[in-house]
Amino acid sequence: MPFISDTLARVKPSPTIAVTNKARELKAEGRDIIGLGAGEPDFDTPENIKAAAKRAIDEGKTKYTAVDGIPELKAAIAAKFARENGLHYKPNQITVGTGGKQTLYNALVATLNPGDEVIIPAPYWVSYPDMVLLAGGTPVPVACGIESGFKLTPERLEAAITPKTKWFIFNSPSNPTGAGYSRTELKALTEVLMKHPHVWVMSDDMYEHLVFDDFEFVTPAQVEPGLYDRTLTCNGVSKAYAMTGWRIGYAAGPVELIRAMGTVQSQSTSNPCSIAQYAAVEALDGPQDFLAENKKVFQRRRDLVVSMLNQAKGIKCPRPEGAFYVYPDIAGCIGKTSAGGAKIADDEAFATALLEETGVAVVFGAAFGLSPNFRVSYATSDAALEEACGRIQAFCAGLR
């Protein structure tokens, strides 16, 4: 009998993390690697946030805290939701976890029974389906191709809902495509959800602050207040405040759900790092002006990457509304052979050959549930991006 559980046998390690680790290893071996795999800002955490963490250490705030977050952080989160999203939550409707990942996972573990279905628009962030599997549920991916701008349509949402649907996971701007839903597009989806009161909404708003041009960010409970009582609005400080390593994510929703998520956390990790929580208070309550500056930098990089990738033979790269990812289509490269002799049978083979022959690390599309594509994280310097896109162009030009 295998020692590893049947549940885990259905789950794979996170491919985004695998690619990031692989790039790190190759770099350590002295190879000239440009990592476009990891989804994390290259900026340093702002000084005021680091100072708040140092203060917390000096003041001895280094002990256990309330399991699902210190009152100061819950207050800062409530103020953030009111200020930025027009959403009003009491402290007992808010939970804080070790990264956005933990809050999503807690919610799934706290609610899924065997056979419960979770609708996940594809391409999706790699961890959604595997978290559903770990929690004993059934992921239901719904394909959203390049023709719909990688976005779910109301018709497809309606068709995917069954009596067993428990959650609909919504992520805008999206990891991995950067696609953002306008108010009108989101309203069309919430109208469908209003007809199905048994379906709950998990909105992953992690990329809220990374939207470009004049795109307006909106979240389901804001667009349709009728969904407030069955929506978990999830966010975190990782991407907006360049705090990926601090591991602070949070979510707000109905009291009963938040309490159940706290039970999961109290029996697994307990409180998120006390020092990181005090830093997160400063992130949310402190000056916000650098957000606009970071946005400008990311917008410039998006434009650079989209333009250079569209000049690569066999690649079509849409211009997304937000996040720091692009998700080019490489149908024009499949079936060819690389200059180094690799058969490009699928997007995984493309990404492997690209890394081996040019040193550019990207994440292959199959990991996100829509092929043939790859994900570029452009959260790295302009110089590195230009060099990497140049190498991708040369790689594509060499395909026969």
Q: Which residues bind ligand GLU (CB under 6 A)?
A: 14, 16-17, 38-40, 101, 125-127, 175
Residues in the chain: 400
C-beta of 51: minimal distance to ligand GLU in Å?
26
Q: Which is nearer to ligand GLU, 171 or 190 (CB)?
A: 171
Q: Which is nearer to ligand GLU, 126 or 218 (CB)?
A: 126
Other C-beta atoms closer than 10 Å to the C-beta of 307 total 12
C-beta of 100: minimal distance to ligand GLU in Å?
8
Q: Which is nearer to ligand GLU, 78 or 120 (CB)?
A: 120
Q: Which is nearer to ligand GLU, 39 or 262 (CB)?
A: 39
The answer to whether 353 touches 333, Cβ cutoff 8 Å, is no
Cα dihedral value 124, 130, 133, 134, nearest 10: -140
C-beta of 397: minimal distance to ligand GLU in Å?
28
List beta partners, residue 120.
141
The answer to whether 178 touches 171, Cβ cutoff 8 Å, is no
C-beta of 177: minimal distance to ligand GLU in Å?
12
Q: Which is nearer to ligand GLU, 175 or 222 (CB)?
A: 175
Which tokens is 302 given?
């998006």
Q: Which is nearer to ligand GLU, 327 or 395 (CB)?
A: 327
C-beta of 221: minimal distance to ligand GLU in Å?
23
Q: Which is nearer to ligand GLU, 258 or 363 (CB)?
A: 363
Place of tokens 């978290």: 131
C-beta of 243: minimal distance to ligand GLU in Å?
12
Diameter over CA atoms, the chain: 63
Task: State which amino acid sits at residue 65.
Answer: T
Question: How far is it, in rounded angstroms, from Cα 221 to Cα 96?
Answer: 19
Report the chain's C-alpha Rg in angstroms.
21
Element at 162 (helix H, strand E) = none
Pairing of strands 117-122, 165-171: parallel
C-beta of 41: minimal distance to ligand GLU in Å?
11
- 257 φ/ψ angles, rounded to the nearest 5 degrees: -65, -45
Residue nearest to ligand GLU as judged by C-beta position: 39
